[in-house]
Structure 1
Amino acid sequence: MRTDPDRAWRAAEIAKQLGLSSHRGVSAALGRSVKEGMLLKPAPVTYILAPDWAPPDQQEPLHEADLQPADSR
């Protein structure tokens, strides 16, 4: 995710990149990362890297809507 921090990633894509057959465990871990502030959740089962976790040259906020907590959507 740090290699393309502006890209939205679906849980199934992340599981596939990790060589996992199911995205359910990955989804649970990603949900915890949202709660910890490492990721943002702009849509169901879709995640982006939080600006504070992006590489130093890409730490600008994305869009105001992306910065809202996942549970307020």
Structure 2
Amino acid sequence: MPEQDPAVEMALIRADLEAMQTELKAVRKELKDLLDAWNTATGVVRFIKWLSTLVAAIAVITAAFKGFSGR
């Protein structure tokens, strides 16, 4: 491999670095979007668990009142 001028090598390295920085910015944005979606999904799951607990408690209370009034 022939020796290149140091200025040319620096220019090539600088161009590669700029391309890598551009790709890194794109990956960061995609990762942020993925993290936002993950956090949203986690919140939805927590809400569904809370709601199911509430519905179960209401069902138990309703069944208890129906059982007491039937006697």
TM norm. shorter chain > 0.5? no
> RCO (CA 8 Å, sep 6+): is it higher in 1 or 2?
1
Structure ID, larger Rg: 2
More strand by share: 1
- What TM-score comes out, normalization by structure 1 length? 0.22
